[in-house]
Amino acid sequence: MINKENIPWVEKYRVRSFSDVSGQDLAIEKVKLFLRTFPKKRSIIFHGPSGIGKTSLAYAVALENDSEILELNASDLRDKKKISEIIGPASRQKSLFKKDKIILVDEVDGVSAVKDRGGLAELIVLIEKSAFPIIITANDIWQKKFNLIRKKSEVVALKEVDYKVILGVLKKICEKENCFVSNEVLTSISIKARGDIRAALNDLQILSKMDSPEMIKEIGERNKEKSIFTALQYVFKNSKIDSEMVRVFDDIDMSIDEIFLWIEENIPLEYKGEEMFRAFEALALADVYRGRIRRQRHYRFMVYEYFLLGAGVAGVKKYNRAGWTSYKKPSRILKIWLSNQRALKKKSICSKYARHCHISTKQAMKDFLLIKIILNSKLVRRDLKLNEEEIAYLDKPIIL
Amino acid sequence: MASSLDSEVWTEKYRPKKFEEMVGQEEIIKRVRSLTNSLNIPHLLFAGPAGTGKSTLALIVVKQLFGDSWRDNYLELNASDERGIDVIRQKVKDFARTRAIGNVPFKVIFLDEADALTREAQQALRRTMENYTSTCRFILSCNYSSKILDPIQSRAVIFRFQLLEKKDIKKRIDIITQNEGLTITGDAFDSLYESSEGDCRRVINLIQATASISPNLTSDLVNTLVSKAKPSDIKIVLDYALSGDFINSKEKLLEIMLKESISGQDVIKAIQKEIWNLPIDNSLKVKLTERTGEIEFRLVEGSDEFIQLESLIAGFVMAGQGTA
């Protein structure tokens, strides 16, 4: 039996109905229309970047219509027998008693026009004859080889999912899984996913399995954010340097290091070209003072640190800014943290190598690309007493 | 620790085990050797670039001093991995508490990459060196002696290691190729030497990596390996920046630094080398190089790598638009 713990959340939380589908309202409307007017067109194409819910939407369609899914993947299309098994019953009259069917052709990009000669032709035959609606999913439907299929089908573009929608999904899952992840981390995951719900779910699942201080829910989170957002608005929108600007970060309940990260993340959202350059110059200089304070305990420099961070970054523009900018939370720390988690195996390998070779683990990490080649040798692996997990990592490294 | 005699990693297998096996650094070896022979060494500070023999010499010293019981009388710590001075002090204390075994009255602690220690840690180290001076001698190694506090420098005898010359590296390579039954062309050796910038450890690593593919080392093969082991192209970061795409430029930078664990200082070295090849006005190149120097200085000082590099990249975005 499959252990429930091990089911990827991506599978566990696949959508069950249209209301579960997040962030694709327009597409849902189009699907509904397609089904109502069937068989005016017999197939509908969902296309868009990976992880935004194409296959999920197809399953939701089936569940909503109480239909069975007949899934054909790219390799089946080459298999005549399989096709005729589908086309056979599919081309006959619909039975009154049997459950309706929906044919899903998943990831049609995988069919090669040259190598799988005939695959796409089979698909066209299928589209022409089918008594059941066909759903086709693809990343890029504008390739030439899909011309005919495109003409015969309803084409629906699925959008990248907005980070707020992803955030909502993550929050719900956290509730169901009974795991506490701070709002900040969830938001960072959502933003980092860049519209890819699947990626976000995978990240969250990895995170949830780790014990770490980041997992502890911070109380008062919302208030804290509010004040940093107000401060960011003030710094980024006003050009006038007044006494308010000089004290802009005074009342924020946040460490100066965190404020640095917020400014760093948001400069490119507000400034372009020369203004961006000048703003980064001010930020970098503030950072130099931060370093001097830290190393030499020269707290007097804090005046300059705060001034550059607020007034310095604000003063690069000549006029006040209008409009509202949606400021992002700092993502760098999470990225570093996630990548460190993934690099743990690499690190344990490097530390063994380092001890063996009288160098620092850091140095070994730096030379890892070269060392990795040397570690291909079984003898070397045995010499360093690498364990199975480490060897598995070397044979198939996890890609960031 | 595995005995280096039968190591499968060539940098260990072919690490010189006696003074006379070392290449280059003749003056240093002569002096360290006579100090060692007197069975009483002062604290030593080895300064110099990577792969020039600092750790090797330290190991030879302890083996000469202690003979077969060297493992009992020797502690190796790497400052860049064990940053906390508390850890170092604790380990030093535990180690120094017991008497040395044999006829040498002290033990030896080798503190590698000592320039990675913070000022405070160095202050603490200075006290530790004094407190245990009767039972312990320190050998410190570092790339830049300027990053070692004056009081520590003044307590140690400083040896400055030079980059190995081509002929010296050739000697080591000849031993390896003979022993391992490899052939190497002259071009291949040149490629090895160039890509390793006088770092003998890197040369040997490259040889082992190349030999894992074929026993006949040609320059093509070496170059393939070198490019395979090269971190991702920093040029992509600059290309994005010059085209005005700051966001992608910074994402790529972060990716390179995280995925391949490359330090900000290495990134900036790569950027500096790349500037002159960029398709921009020469006067802009001068400006950018000037700025790169300033940022590198700040990184050496210990500023935040990402913030400093981002500000540098923002400058490249400007240069892409023809101003600076």
How high is the ipTM of this complex? 0.75
Residue A290: inside a domain: yes
| Higher-pLDDT residue of A99, B120 | B120
Residue A199: inside a domain: yes
- CATH, residue A272: 1.20.272
Where is B183: in which H helix or E strand?
strand B183-184
Whether residues A319 and A356 share a domain: the answer is no
Distance separating alpha carbons of residues B43 and B39, to the nearest angstrom: 13
Domains of chain B by start residue, with CATH: 25-160 (3.40.50.300), 166-228 (1.10.8.60), 234-320 (1.20.272.10)
Residue A307: inside a domain: yes
Whether residues A226 and A279 share a domain: the answer is yes
Whether residues A130 and A17 share a domain: the answer is yes
Structural domain including A254 reads 221-332
Residue A337: inside a domain: no
- Nearest CA-CA partner of A46 in A65, A63, A68, A61: A61
Which of A313, A332, A351 corresponds to the end of one domain? A332
Query: What single letter denotes the amino acid at residue A259?
Result: I
Whether residues A131 and A177 share a domain: the answer is no
Whether residues A322 and A252 share a domain: the answer is yes
For residue B3, the distance in angstroms to the closest alpha carbon of chain A comes to 9
From chain A, the residues in CB contact with B244 under 8 A are 273
Sign of the alpha-carbon dihedral angle for B185, B188, B194, B198: negative
Whether residues A227 and A300 share a domain: the answer is yes
- CATH, residue A109: 3.40.50.300
Which of A198, A215, A232 corresponds to the end of one domain? A215
8 Å CB contact of B311 and A366: no
Which of A301, A332, A363 corresponds to the end of one domain? A332
Judge whether A208 and A181 are in contact, CB under 8 Å: yes
Residue of B244, B302, B307 with shortest CB distance to A283: B307
Q: Is the pLDDT assigned to residue B18 strictly greater than 70? A: yes
Q: DSSP letters of B44-108? A: EEEE--TTSSHHHHHHHHHHHHHGGGGGGGEEEEETTT---HHHHHHHHHHHHHSPPSSS-S-EE
Residue of B11, B261, B295 with shortest CB distance to A357: B11
Distance separating alpha carbons of residues A130 and B92, to the nearest angstrom: 79
Whether residues A47 and A107 share a domain: the answer is yes
Residue A130: inside a domain: yes
From chain B, the residues in CB contact with A276 under 8 A are 246, 314, 317
Burial B115-147 (b: 16+ CB within 10 A, else e): bbbeeebbebbbebbeebeeebbbbbbbbebee
Residue A24: inside a domain: yes
> What pLDDT is attached to residue A112?
63
Distance separating alpha carbons of residues A286 and A308, to the nearest angstrom: 5
Whether residues A204 and A123 share a domain: the answer is no
pLDDT tier, B2 (very low <50, low <70, confident <90, very high otherwise)? very low
Mean pLDDT for the stretch of residues B266-289: 91
| Higher-pLDDT residue of B104, A96 | B104
> What pLDDT is attached to residue A103?
85
Q: DSSP letters of B124-176? A: HHHHHHHHTTTTEEEEEEES-GGGS-HHHHHHEEEEEPPPPPHHHHHHHHHHH
Q: With a CB-CB cutoff of 8 Å, which residues 27-56 of chain B face chain A? A: 50, 55
Distance separating alpha carbons of residues A70 and A123, to the nearest angstrom: 14
Q: How many CB pairs under 8 A join A and B?
A: 154
8 Å CB contact of A356 and B202: no
Whether residues A13 and A141 share a domain: the answer is yes
From chain A, the residues in CB contact with B7 under 8 A are 356, 383
- Block residue for tokens 């089908």: A153
- Looking at the structure of chain A, the number of domains it has is 4
Whether residues A240 and A167 share a domain: the answer is no
Whether residues A205 and A227 share a domain: the answer is no
> What pLDDT is attached to residue A221?
37
From chain A, the residues in CB contact with B250 under 8 A are 268
Distance separating alpha carbons of residues A193 and A165, to the nearest angstrom: 12
- Block residue for tokens 């030079």: B162
> What pLDDT is attached to residue B228?
74
Mutate to test the interface with B, among A359, A375, A400 (most CBs of B within 10 A): A359
- The beta strands (E) that lie in A50-180 are given as 68-73, 101-106, 134-138, 153-157
Mean pLDDT per block of 10 residues along chain A (400 residues) reads 59 77 81 85 86 83 82 67 65 58 80 65 80 85 82 86 84 81 78 76 72 40 59 88 84 85 93 92 95 85 92 90 80 76 82 92 86 90 90 66
How many other C-beta atoms lie within 10 A of the C-beta of residue A20? 17
- B323 φ, ψ (degrees, to nearest 5): -125, 170
Whether residues A107 and A152 share a domain: the answer is yes
Query: What single letter denotes the amino acid at residue A295?
Result: R
8 Å CB contact of B314 and A276: yes
> What pLDDT is attached to residue A389?
83
pTM of the model: 0.51
Instruction: Give per-residue pLDDT as tens, B40-53.
Output: 889 999 999 999 99
Instruction: Give per-residue pLDDT as tens, B259-274.
Output: 776 788 889 988 998 9
| Higher-pLDDT residue of B194, A145 | B194
Residue A338: inside a domain: no
> What pLDDT is attached to residue A97?
53
B224 touches chain A (CB under 8 A): no
8 Å CB contact of B113 and A383: no
Residue A126: inside a domain: yes
